[in-house]
Amino acid sequence: MDEPLLRVEHLCQYFGTNKAVDDVSFDIQKGEVFGLVGESGCGKTTTGRSIIRIYDITSGSIYFNGHRIAAGTKSYKDAISDAKKAMRGADAQRKAELEQVVRENRKNIRLARRDHTQCDKLCRPYLKQEVEARYEALISAAPPDRRDQLIRERDYDLRVAEKQRYITKIQMIFQDPIASLDPRMTVYDTIAEGLIIRGEKDKAVIDEKVYRILERVGLVREHATRYPHEFSGGQRQRIGVARAVIMNPDLIIADEPVSALDVSIQAQVINLLNELRHDLGLTVLFIAHDLSVVKYFSDRIGVMYFGRLVELATSDELFAHPLHPYTRSLLSAIPLPDPYFERTRKRLKYDPLAEHNYGSEQPIMREVVPGHFVQCSQAEYERYIKQMQGVQA
Ligand SMILES: Nc1ncnc2c1ncn2[C@@H]1O[C@H](COP(=O)(O)OP(=O)(O)OP(=O)(O)O)[C@@H](O)[C@H]1O
Ligand SMILES: [Mg+2]
């Protein structure tokens, strides 16, 4: 399989003793919509903010297009201190092995720090290569009278790439459209801000891009001079979408983009995201707190509970064969369109202490059927396997 667009490996983001995100791993293929769901406070936003480097992550690595854009060091530091502890009383051969472990992890720390702090500089050549590749075919296929124009455009984009931060290839649409828009900035300034920070100076280029994107998200030119408070919730979220999409990102992180909206408006914004996704070839990390919103929009879904990923599968598989009791409880909370079933619908409550017996064993993610992962103990794993064999038989 191709290198995924985004690869999150053992991501940990701790705030003091609060393990907001704890050892979360998943990847997103190019063009895919990946849904991340879970109840309030389980770490969804923190995961998104870690990916766009708002935090210096505690531990783990994040790869984008094969390049490591964020890395933490705690796991390496822990490995060093464990090795040092084990050295006490160890024989000479064991000691030598442990010293090797210490050396390797010191190197890991150095590399993690280098990638984390210098990702923009290290990735700049790739941004330029991408521009070159994009124009190469265009220029060679263009009629002679178009060629000069294309070369000028390419050189312009190359100059932009020179100053661009790599991370701008990932854009986030924020959870709260009121809090995330500056009330003193016009819609025009809000949408143009990223371009200007990126180094775009040509007023005509900025105008053209802003007006085009306004129309693309279902607003009009006349809205450009207005302020956020003059808009409805749905329109504000369209401004948020425009601000992200104008940067021409490869990945959009949409953090509960419709949760604050009326049900009637939710579908409109989801449809807009869906259209943009197809038209612009976007990849989307879609965050939501209930499964009904992500069901039709997501190719695969990850379910989070208290900072951990507890289940990951394709959308169809997750709805057809939910295995983790927390996923089952989330599904049981979705209202059914049929009034008869709705009356008899049983809501399942998830009580981790009653459900699992993890006494001496820490649960880990295990693949029960290809592509379907569940966090479980060995005994639960065997039970899930049997359960799925029953389904297939
Ligand atoms: N900057 C921060 N400093 C300290 N703790 C934080 C910070 N951000 C989040 N947390 C804590 O991390 C945990 C996860 O928060 P997060 O915002 O990621 O949850 P969420 O899944 O997005 O919830 P919601 O659905 O309500 O948006 C919570 O316990 C929260 O209090
Ligand atoms: Mg959140």
pLDDT at 2: 76
Over residues 84-113, the mean pLDDT reads 96
Whose tokens are 């707190």? That residue is 289
pTM: 0.93
- Pocket residue to mutate for ligand 1, from 11, 12, 14, 15, most atoms within 8 A of Cβ: 15
Q: Specify whether the CB–CB gap between 37 and 285 falls below 8 A.
A: no
Span 289-336, pLDDT tens digits: 888 888 888 999 999 999 999 999 999 999 999 999 999 999 988 877
- Give the three-class secondary structure for 137: helix
| Nearest CA among 27, 12, 57, 80 for reference residue 299 | 27
Residue 209's pLDDT band, with cuts at 50, 70 and 90, is: very high
CA gap 302, 25 in Å, rounded:
10
pLDDT at residue 24 in the model = 98
Pocket mutation for ligand 1, best pick of 11, 14, 19, 44 (most atoms within 8 Å of C-beta) = 44
Of 20, 4, 32, 2, the closest CA to residue 315 belongs to: 32
pLDDT of 117 reads 93
CATH of 165-289, one of 3.20.20.70, 1.20.1050.140, 3.40.30.10, 3.40.50.300: 3.40.50.300
Residue with token string 């025009």: 188
Edge to edge, the sheet with strand 251-255 lists 170-173, 251-255, 283-288, 33-37, 300-305, 308-314, 372-376, 364-369
pLDDT at 200: 84
Which of the four pLDDT bands, split at 50, 70 and 90, describes residue 77? very high
User: Which residues contact residue 350 at a Cβ distance below 8 angstroms, ignoring those fewer than 6 apart?
Assistant: 305, 325, 326, 328, 329
pLDDT at 393: 65
Q: How far is the CA of 370 from the centre of ligand 2 (A)?
A: 30
**Which ligand has the nearest atom to the CA of 255?**
2
pLDDT of 333 reads 84
User: What distance in Å separates the CA atoms of residue 219 and residue 214, rounded to the nearest whole number?
Assistant: 5
| 282, pLDDT greater than 80 | yes
CB atoms inside a 10 Å sphere around CB 53? 18
Report the pLDDT averaged over residues 252-273: 88
Closest CA to 171 of 248, 228, 96, 64: 248
Give the ligand whose atoms come closest to the C-alpha of residue 42: 1
Residue 352 has pLDDT above 80, yes or no: yes
Res 56: pLDDT: 95
Query: DSSP for 206-270?
Result: HHHHHHHHHHHTT--GGGGGS-GGGS-HHHHHHHHHHHHHTT--SEEEEESTTTTS-HHHHHHHH
Token output for 299: 């190719």
Angle between helices 233-245 and 187-197 (to 10 degrees): 20
Q: How far is the CA of 38 from the centre of ligand 1 (A)?
A: 12
Distances (CA, A) of 134 to 139, 150, 252: 9, 11, 21
| pLDDT value at residue 1 | 60
**Distances from the Cα of 88 to the Cαs of 26, 80, 94, 105, 222, in angstroms?**
37, 13, 10, 19, 73
From residue 221, give the alpha-carbon distance in Å to each of 265, 273, 382: 21, 20, 59
Q: How far apart are CA 211 and CA 219, in angstroms?
A: 9
Share of the chain above pLDDT 70, in %: 99
Which pLDDT does position 164 carry in this prediction? 86
| Ligand 2 center–CA 163 separation, angstroms | 31
Q: Do residues 285 and 11 touch, judged by C-beta distance below 8 A?
A: no
pLDDT tens digits, one per residue of 213-251: 999 999 999 999 999 999 988 999 999 999 999 999 999
CA 92 from chain centre, in angstroms, equals: 46
